[in-house]
Amino acid sequence: MTSALTEQLAGIVGAAHVITDGDVLDGRSIDHTGRYRGHAAALVRPGSTDEVAAVLRACRDAGVNVTVQGGRTSLVAGTVPEHDDVLLSTERLRDLGDVDVEERRVRVGAGVTLAEVQRAAAAAGLVFGVDLAARDSATVGGMASTNAGGLRTVCYGNMGEQVIGLDVVLPDGTVVHRHSQVRSDNTGYDLASLFVGAEGTLGVITALDLRLHPLPRHRVTAICGFADLDSLIATGRAFRDMEGIAALELIDARASALTAEHAGVAAPVDGAWQLLIELSGDTDLTDRLADALEDADLCGEPAVGVDTTAQQRLWQVREAVAEVLGVYGPPLKFDVSLPLSSIQEFATDAVALVAEHAPEAIPVLFGHIGEGNLHLNIVRFDLTGEDERALYSAMMTLIARHGGNVSSEHGVGTRKRDYLAMARTEADIATMRAVKAAFDPTGYLNRAVLFS
Amino acid sequence: MTSALTEQLAGIVGAAHVITDGDVLDGRSIDHTGRYRGHAAALVRPGSTDEVAAVLRACRDAGVNVTVQGGRTSLVAGTVPEHDDVLLSTERLRDLGDVDVEERRVRVGAGVTLAEVQRAAAAAGLVFGVDLAARDSATVGGMASTNAGGLRTVCYGNMGEQVIGLDVVLPDGTVVHRHSQVRSDNTGYDLASLFVGAEGTLGVITALDLRLHPLPRHRVTAICGFADLDSLIATGRAFRDMEGIAALELIDARASALTAEHAGVAAPVDGAWQLLIELSGDTDLTDRLADALEDADLCGEPAVGVDTTAQQRLWQVREAVAEVLGVYGPPLKFDVSLPLSSIQEFATDAVALVAEHAPEAIPVLFGHIGEGNLHLNIVRFDLTGEDERALYSAMMTLIARHGGNVSSEHGVGTRKRDYLAMARTEADIATMRAVKAAFDPTGYLNRAVLFS
């Protein structure tokens, strides 16, 4: 990167917001597993949409690639630069507007965290539709760019379903404001949906209008134990499209063993498999839950929480899983979606595959069973290099063989770009590339992700 | 059109499916109001996705423009050709797959009608999420291309929210198959959303995977009367985000007078304004409806239907409105969405504007108040030419002045293409044009619609 560009960027965002310190850049150029590492020439922190536009234009004109960073919680190495990139951070885009209680919406800057949006919604007596473990770090800009899912997808949908407007800066520096004030608008291409899930390859989202939801008056939470996965799936199938379903989370025995050992959180029920079920709504739901569980093949009685304290205790069982995955170092992560009818077989085959490649490792299964999602995490995993890649590749093939998708909600990023053809057809990928070329002919924006 | 192209098209679809009869073409080249008329050189009826692809390639190579036609129920002249177009009809794409009850989805050809999908869903004990008056003619391909709304949007969303997969032929003849077998898929651009609402300008949708919903076990329907629009809006506001809301339809006194006179359907309640409310769900809803109406400022008692017969009688009040709009010839239609807070003022101003331009006409208001939608229909309307355009234009300006959108659910078509700039910014339209150019560089597909 030339000193002329550094000066130009400093002129746009202020010298304090162009950082070239090597330690800072190194820390920003690696993913959380340490497996993906790149190199950045500078970190630039624009303070407004117009500054983002000016930074993009300057970098494009100078032939310098740009990698966008939000909360850097990507699980697919979605924010790791290639070589000498400018890192464009959204961390200063922190406007958090007043909640419009009447229209149930709020406008927020891309750099606002999920937890901050959740708190603002709660203060207004409303609820935001997405929740996930990285809530204190993940920013709404990144979450929209990856169409993040999480614990509430079964109820409210993914991040894309919450986005009702946005400001986005295109690779050529054009700013598109798309903020309809009405709930119904049928005037041409749904550009917002195009940027959602595009992983920053088509533009930089700088602000969003987010939908908020009424706070349900009643809530009931339960954890049920099952002797086998098939019984759990049968119950999940009965609940996933039920009115009022608010969460449907699977946890396997290996996950429970880890939380018992490392977080002091024991499974509250018998059985190798646990299913957390939550219903919410405007009427009392305890009876509906009991009725729906009548035919379930449970191990013993379910643990039911009818008040907030008991519910939080049950949720702690699920939250603890995310906390202990890293106790032996970064796990190898897979984020799979499958038809419900394939989950049992896939789980058996996946565990066998891990045993074959890495006998000392612990394959942990949990996930959002409402969407057929499994987060397979291989804990105590110490393969590296070719050995690691061989298992990764074999698992991706196994997923495809069972009719599954290689990314349920984490996105493609750098990690899965070579496996995109397992999820999309050749014509489909060619069309995506044509869209990318139309927006970013030189391909300078987020070039490491999505495409090989 | 050259005879060489006619022969080439006959070779693709069979001679019986290339129609050049002048009467047929004339009937296909005019919209339902008679206000928009074009000219077609041939009607071509491909029988498969591959035939659609071959037809598109042949026309593009010959430099002939193509206009796509489904059920031709567009209310914005969305299927009227320009000059010497080939009309590509989806009427032979009539495959209707088996309903997948487990995964709640069905694959259908673009030429299947809404009513056929509704019947297939009902036979499987499920429900399709979109309903509208033109159900016997409107095809799912056209409905997806215009992102049609209707009577159930408040509950299930528009057509786009029902589309979970599609086959689409791009303007260059590429066929994109996008049919994920899983519910959760985060692998790149959401191309399906791009084709939904694109009004056929980016490609021809030939088949769709449609989401189906569980059939609610309980349903309660009511029509409430109000002395003034403000009271109705206050009640609509309370209901629109309520759990279980299934329909929320406004009908004004002029509409009621027309249905009483021409359809023998009288308003079942007092008051100049009627609101049809329906709740559905898995628990009995009669009490919830009564509770929610406790604070409403009603004229007399609501008419409540708890059984199917009584509910159908109430729905007949709403359905009759659509039936009588044309009794004095084609009405002038506006499809407006507004913030709820603007509806009262807009309605007053709109009625005054009609009185000024066309004193003999009857401005009828009805619509889906859950989305802030008003269908303003000017009945007994006989202005033509410049006079008609002057009122149309003045109304569009009035809509924009009240913070409304010029197309709530009908789309842009030919009718509103000159008003697109009232709904989208310059950068937004430029981005849409760039997408169009990337897909269709010569602009030969559906060139009459969306853009000026």
B368 domain residue, yes or no: yes
Q: Tens of pLDDT along B340-396?
A: 999 999 999 999 999 999 999 999 999 999 999 999 999 999 999 999 999 999 999
CA B133 to CA B218: how far, in whole Å? 23
Determine contact, residues A223/A301, Cβ cutoff 8 Å: no
Are B337 and B393 part of one and the same domain?
yes
CATH number at residue B47: 3.30.43.10
Residue-wise pLDDT for A245-278, tens only, equals 999 999 999 999 999 999 999 999 999 999 999 9
**A282 plus A194 within the same structural domain:** no
B-chain residues near A372 (CB < 8 A): 182-184
Average pLDDT (B431-442) is: 97
State which residues form the domain around B225: 218-325
- Among B324, B327, B374, B333, residue whose Cα is nearest residue B35: B333
| Claim to verify: residue A174 and residue A251 sit in the same structural domain | no
Give the whole-angstrom CA distance, residue A96 versus residue A98: 7
CATH number of domain containing A137: 3.30.465.10
Mean pLDDT of the residues in chain A? 96
CATH of the domain at A366: 3.30.70.2740
Which residue of A lies nearest to B434 if distances are taken between CA atoms?
Answer: A438
Q: Same domain, yes or no, for B296 and B365? A: no
Distance from CA of B261 to the nearest CA of A (A): 32
Q: Mean pLDDT across the stretch B138-155?
A: 97
Contact B414, A189 (CB under 8 A): no
CB contact under 8 A, A147 and B190: yes
Q: How far apart are CA A184 and CA A180, in angstroms?
A: 9
Q: What is the pLDDT of residue A327?
A: 96
Would you say residue A302 has pLDDT above 90?
yes
Q: What percent of chain B has pLDDT over 90?
A: 96
Contact A190 B196 (CB under 8 A): yes
Chain B contact probe: residue of A184, A284, A449 with most B CBs at under 10 A: A184
Find chain B residues with C-beta within 8 A of A420's C-beta: 187-188
Task: Could you list the beta-strand ranges (E) of B80-187.
Answer: 85-89, 105-109, 126-128, 163-169, 175-178
- % chain A with pLDDT above 90: 96
Q: Tell me if A176 sits within 8 A of B428, measured CB to CB.
A: yes
User: B232 with B136, same domain?
Assistant: no
Contact list in A for residue B216 (CB cut-off 8 A) is 243
CB B391 within 8 A of CB B346: no
Predicted TM-score (pTM) above 0.90: yes
Q: Is B446 inside any structural domain?
A: no
Cβ A431–B191 below 8 Å, yes or no?
yes
Q: Which of B181, B372, B403 sits opposite A403 (nearest CB)?
A: B181
Rounded to an integer, the average pLDDT of B407-429 is: 96
Helices and strands of chain A, counted as H and E runs: 14, 16
Number of structural domains (chain B) is 4
Residue of A172, A176, A187, A202 to mutate, interface with B, max B Cβ within 10 Å = A187
Residue B183 — very low, low, confident or very high, per pLDDT cuts 50/70/90? confident
Q: State the pLDDT at residue A290.
A: 96
My answer on whether B301 and B354 are in the same domain is no
Q: Which residues of chain A does B281 touch, with a Cβ-Cβ cutoff of 8 Å? A: 243
The whole-angstrom separation of Cα A346 and Cα A341 is 10
Nearest chain B CA: its distance from A147 CA (Å) = 7
Confidence of residue B284 (pLDDT cuts 50, 70, 90): confident
* pLDDT level of residue B136 (50, 70, 90 thresholds): very high
CB < 8 Å to A411, chain B: 186-187
Residues of A in contact with B241 (CB under 8 A): 104, 213-214
Is residue A185 within 8 A of residue A152, CB to CB? The reply is: no
Confidence category of residue B224, pLDDT binned at 50, 70, 90: very high
Kindly tell me if the per-residue pLDDT of B155 is higher than 90: yes
Provide the Cα torsion B117, B121, B124, B126; round to 10°: 170
Q: Answer whether residue B277 is part of any domain.
A: yes
Q: Mean pLDDT score of chain B, rounded to an integer?
A: 96
Kindly state whether residues A335 and A316 are assigned to the same domain: no
- Chain position carrying tokens 């692809």: B53
- Supply the pLDDT for residue A228: 96
Phi, psi of B387 (to 5 degrees): -65, -45
pLDDT at res. B180:
86
Task: Look at residues A186, A214, A242 and tell me which one is the last residue of a structural domain.
Answer: A214
Q: Check CB contact under 8 Å for B184 and A160.
A: no
Q: Which helix (H) or strand (E) holds B350?
A: helix B340-357
Asked if pLDDT for residue B283 goes beyond 90, the answer is: no
- Domain identity same for A235 and A298: yes
CATH number of the CATH domain containing A308: 3.30.70.2190
Domain for residue B451, yes or no?
Answer: no
A173 and A202 inside one domain: yes
Q: Give the distance, in angstroms, between the CA of residue A313 and the centroid of all CA atoms in the same chain.
A: 24
pLDDT tens-digit readout, B103-122: 999 999 999 999 999 999 99
pLDDT tens per residue, range B292-314: 999 999 999 999 999 999 999 99
Is A170's CB within 8 Å of B431's CB? Answer: yes
- The DSSP output letter for B216 is P
User: Where a domain ends, among B183, B214, B245?
Assistant: B214
Partner residue opposite B409 with nearest CB, options A184, A281, A432: A184
- The verdict on a CB contact (< 8 Å) between A182 and B403 is yes
User: Which helix (H) or strand (E) segment is A269 a member of?
Assistant: none
**End-of-domain residue from the set A214, A237, A270:** A214
Amino acid B336 reads: V
Q: Which of B149, B184, B281 sits opposite A371 (nearest CB)?
A: B184
In contact, A319 and A385? CB cutoff 8 Å: no
Task: Assess if residue A450 is contained within a domain.
Answer: no
* Structure tokens belonging to residue A88: 């464009």
Mean pLDDT of A187-196: 95
Written as six digits, the tokens of B275 are: 């609101």
- On chain B, the residues whose CB falls within 8 A of the CB of A241 are 104, 213-214
Average pLDDT score over residue span B22-48? 96
The pLDDT of residue B282 is: 87
Question: Rounded mean pLDDT of A361-387?
Answer: 96
Label residue A389 by pLDDT band (50, 70, 90): very high
* Cα distance between residue B184 and residue B180, in whole Å: 8
Nearest CA to B146 out of A195, A162, A189 is that of A189
pLDDT for the residue A183 = 87
Q: Is residue B285 part of a domain?
A: yes
Does A180 score more than 90 pLDDT? no
Q: Answer yes or no: is A342 within a domain.
A: yes
In total, the C-beta contacts within 8 angstroms joining chain A to chain B are: 239
Tell me how far apart the 2 most distant CA atoms of chain A are, in Å.
71
Interchain CB distance below 8 Å, A182 and B337: yes
The answer to whether residue A449 sits within a structural domain is no
Angle at CA A344, nearest 5°, toward A340 and A349?
A: 130
Instruction: Please check whether residues A288 and A333 belong to one and the same domain.
Output: no
Q: Which residues of A touch B157 (CB under 8 A)?
A: none
Residues B409 and B303 in one domain: no
Q: Which residue of B has its CA nearest to A153?
A: B184
Report the pLDDT value the prediction gives residue B176, as an integer from 0 to 100.
97
Q: Which site among A168, A183, A219 would you substitute to test the B interface, given the most B Cβ atoms closer than 10 Å to its Cβ?
A: A183
d(CA B186, CA A449) in angstroms, rounded, equals 13
Residue A198 sits in the same domain as residue A242: no
